[in-house]
Amino acid sequence: MSQVKENNTVKVNYTGKLSDGQIFDTSEGKEPIEVTLGQGQLIPGFEQGLIDMKLNEKKTISITKDEAYGDVNEALIQEVDKANLPQDMEPKVGMGLVSKTPDGQEMNLMIVEVKEESVVIDGNHPLAGRDLVFDLEVVEIK
């Protein structure tokens, strides 16, 4: 029986949960994800969890924040004057923004606090600082 090895392309059904059981992402009701291992498409802990799985095998893996999205980087949390936002925008907590870095890369931001004259934005991945749990099922190995 074939097993998942480095550099294989695999199709995987998954459900991602926080350590308290809250689901943050799933392939249920959608197509399984298809990825080639070793290309940096997945967080390290997810990819490691797939290695040596057999076709149609199911398992649950726990991934520490270090093997997921890392610690929260406080430097990516900043207060911005509302005057610097688009004039027609009504900022709300949880609203996503996109900013361009000086070198032209896009950075996803989220408003985490709205104040009288400013907003607090967070450029960290929403799952930074969190340990994660994934239910995995390998449905195809190429």
Res 18: pLDDT: 97
Residues 65 and 132 grouped into a single domain: yes
Please answer whether residues 107 and 100 qualify as being in contact, where contact means their C-beta atoms are separated by less than 8 angstroms. Answer: yes
d(CA 28, CA 135): 11
Res 101: pLDDT: 81
- Note the pTM of the prediction, 2 decimals: 0.84
**Main-chain dihedrals φ then ψ at residue 86, nearest 5 degrees:** -55, 140
Hunting for tokens 């392939």 — which residue is that?
A: 27
Mean pLDDT split into 10-residue runs, the chain, 142 residues: 90 96 96 95 95 97 96 96 90 92 88 96 95 98 94
Residues 78 and 47 grouped into a single domain: no
Residues 63 and 16 grouped into a single domain: yes
Res 1: pLDDT: 59
Res 48: pLDDT: 96
Residues 63 and 79 grouped into a single domain: no
The number of domains in the chain is 2
User: Residue 89 sits in which domain range?
Assistant: 74-122
Query: In the numeric block, which tokens belong to residue 51?
Result: 């290695």
DSSP, collapsed to helix, strand or coil, labels residue 2 as coil
Residues 49 and 117 grouped into a single domain: no
Could you tell me if residue 88 is inside a domain? yes
Residue whose C-alpha is closest to residue 64's, from 2, 129, 11 = 129
Res 87: pLDDT: 86
Query: In the numeric block, which tokens belong to residue 142?
Result: 């190429």
Beta strands in 1-127 (DSSP E): 9-18, 23-26, 33-36, 58-63, 77-81, 96-100, 106-114, 118-122
